[in-house]
Structure 1
């Protein structure tokens, strides 16, 4: 079973890298004098050998091209249904496999990514899969595996607008991705990878301050507060733990964490995966925090029986109590504990649904004193 949604088994799919390798395998076989194999088999990094139907073929004098329709299974992938094409032609003897970006495939323009600046945005594992596909086809034909491989995805430039590629400095289209060749439905792997690449790009650009946010409203609040460039903004979504653990190993001097009251209430409790599937906000915990702040008993009781965290926030704002500051301070303590002494100063902004900063914990580095409003006597 691949996973479940509403009690139903989820179907796995294939990465763009796998589709590109399969299309390359078919086009190479045709270029070397054979027919387009359909279905075509490709070897994945784990040794699996799935077969793919071809969705398009074409050939001409000295070149051949094939395409495979991307099937992402039950994962909400923006490239699901896209045609991933490979066009191959002979390269000079001894050149090996050369890569070119065709329509809809981006180019790398900033350092910090696993592919050098000026290269097509085809990641290392897909490149290895494509090389293997060429070598296997060349061995069968008894010829040298010296080819120029152009990967394209018609419509990819438009699809890329729905990804983080622009922020990472990948222009003109999509990235060809994949580490195992297989898409696991609703896995966090792709998102965590984009977080890591965002940190890498910021560090390579020499940035000393990044902001990691749970969503658009909180990201906007951090950007307005500090005037940060787009390159300094990390869309961490619900993956606070993954973001902090990567920064622990790859530090940036200053980190602003920005997020909604509900999500950061979880972080304040030490929960690092902020997704709702990991549980709802603990309203009893929030009520207990209000009691610590000296709130009247009726307000504490109302918070305990509230429907949502947003409702609690509205109550305490009307009462003038610094619960959001308290949550921010505890979330900051969680973050610093995960960073475990890394040379990073952390600021936390708790943002309401309108994008306003409802509470905050000012800059604090490893080993610095507590700035919780409760312990400050607020």
Structure 2
């Protein structure tokens, strides 16, 4: 499972995974339905939109309201078999006349951008460029159909979105008060690692735009807490690397910062030290023969886990892992001018190995 934003639901993939629709696609469908009511007089039962790659999904309306000079429609997001935190959320678009052109506003549960480095400017509703363009295209199309000026204020809301946003990276990225309206294709592809890696990239962009000279990538919450306290780093310096060391380092090669700390438990850091760029248990394994060679202890060859190897060899092994992981990180950075240090922790969050300044 590679999605960065998950819910506690236990949907299990069986056979072909069912894809879903992004919040941006849902917001576009809701906007179209609301405009049909505002300009045409009645709500449609369902609404079809055209996605950037030409697909034409149809969305049933989950909510429909109207008043003098405004109309609002809601679409229930279906994320398919992806464990997305917004699966089942109601995406509402309220439309009314604007002074000039298409304007966007954040309603309940939609965040506001407060830090630079994101594709939307500071102070703007967290509605990404592609969804904005999709909604603008709908306005232009319907304005021509109904012979209306394309001057529309679109307010997007997600009831309960502020609470859902706490389960995402929005607070760290400086998006306050709610969710982002996202999507580049309109389609949610189940368990896609691309979403996680893209979020890492946006975290780097925000850190650089804010002038941070030191960022950290960690494999999990415990290592992140330890590294953040060790270096006194702000939240938006903490990049949720997870298993995707390669995705983090490849982007940093082209978008460097002054200093990088990589932290994690002995298992994933051992994989990194042995040259793995993807630290997921299904895609890389610890080489215990190699660990035994590093530690000079043949008993490690029969270890079942890296933690057991550490229990046999002690902190000298953890230090060696930190040193070799640092070397691998520098190798993957391919000469980028970034000072690197590595931190290995145990399950309690105690530092058991370090390398670097």
CA distance in 2, matches of 1:26, 1:20: 10
* Cα deviation, residue 259, structure 1: 1.0
Asked whether 1:141 is paired with 2:155, we answer no
3-state SS in 2 of match to 1:21: helix
Partner of 2:46: 39
Partner of 1:96: 101
Q: Is the 8 A contact 1:108 1:118 kept in 2?
A: yes
Runs of 4+ displaced beyond 3 Å: 4-7
Deviations 1:299-322 (A, max 9, x none): x23x222221111111111xxx51
CA distance in 1, matches of 2:170, 2:342: 26
- Would you say how many aligned residue pairs link Structure 1 and Structure 2? 347
CA distance in 2, matches of 1:6, 1:39: 28
Partner of 1:120: 125
Question: Quick one: which of 284, 308, 313 aligns to 1:311?
Answer: 308
Partner of 1:370: none
Partner of 1:106: 111
CA distance in 2, matches of 1:351, 1:64: 54
Question: Quick one: which of 189, 192, 195 aligns to 1:187?
Answer: 192
Asked whether 1:281 is paired with 2:281, we answer no
3-state SS in 1 of match to 2:82: coil
Deviations 1:2-48 (A, max 9, x none): xx966522111111000000100111111112422222011111111
* Cα deviation, residue 144, structure 1: 2.1
* TM-score of the two chains, using structure 1 as the length reference: 0.89
Q: Is the 8 A contact 2:22 2:187 kept in 1?
A: yes
Deviations 1:129-157 (A, max 9, x none): 11112222222212222100000000000
Question: Quick one: which of 345, 348, 351 aligns to 2:342?
Answer: 348
Asked whether 1:72 is paired with 2:79, we answer yes
3-state SS in 2 of match to 1:200: helix
* Cα deviation, residue 183, structure 1: 0.6
Question: Quick one: which of 164, 170, 182 aligns to 2:175?
Answer: 170
3-state SS in 2 of match to 1:278: coil
3-state SS in 1 of match to 2:282: helix
CA distance in 1, matches of 2:42, 2:281: 51
Question: Quick one: which of 206, 226, 233 aligns to 1:221?
Answer: 226
Asked whether 1:337 is paired with 2:331, we answer yes
Larger CA Rg, structure 1 vs 2: 1
Partner of 1:205: 210
Q: Is the 8 A contact 1:43 1:133 kept in 2?
A: no
Question: Quick one: which of 19, 32, 35 aligns to 1:12?
Answer: 19
CA distance in 2, matches of 1:235, 1:6: 25
* Cα deviation, residue 265, structure 1: 1.1
Asked whether 1:264 is paired with 2:261, we answer no
Q: Is the 8 A contact 2:276 2:284 kept in 1?
A: no
Asked whether 1:156 is paired with 2:153, we answer no
3-state SS in 2 of match to 1:110: coil
Q: Is the 8 A contact 1:240 1:273 kept in 2?
A: yes
CA distance in 1, matches of 2:115, 2:13: 41
Deviations 1:206-246 (A, max 9, x none): 11111111111111111121111112111111111111111
Q: Is the 8 A contact 2:216 2:238 kept in 1?
A: yes
3-state SS in 2 of match to 1:98: strand
Deviations 1:151-202 (A, max 9, x none): 0000000001111111111101000111111111110122112211111111
Deviations 1:350-375 (A, max 9, x none): 11111111111113xxxxxxxxxxxx
Partner of 2:70: 63
Deviations 1:91-126 (A, max 9, x none): 12xx22100000000000111111000000001111
CA distance in 1, matches of 2:150, 2:41: 15
Q: Structure 1 residues 100 and 7 mapped into 2: Cα distance closer, same or farther (>3 Å)? A: closer
Compute the RMSD of aligned alpha carbons. 1.5
CA distance in 2, matches of 1:324, 1:222: 16
* Cα deviation, residue 285, structure 1: 2.7
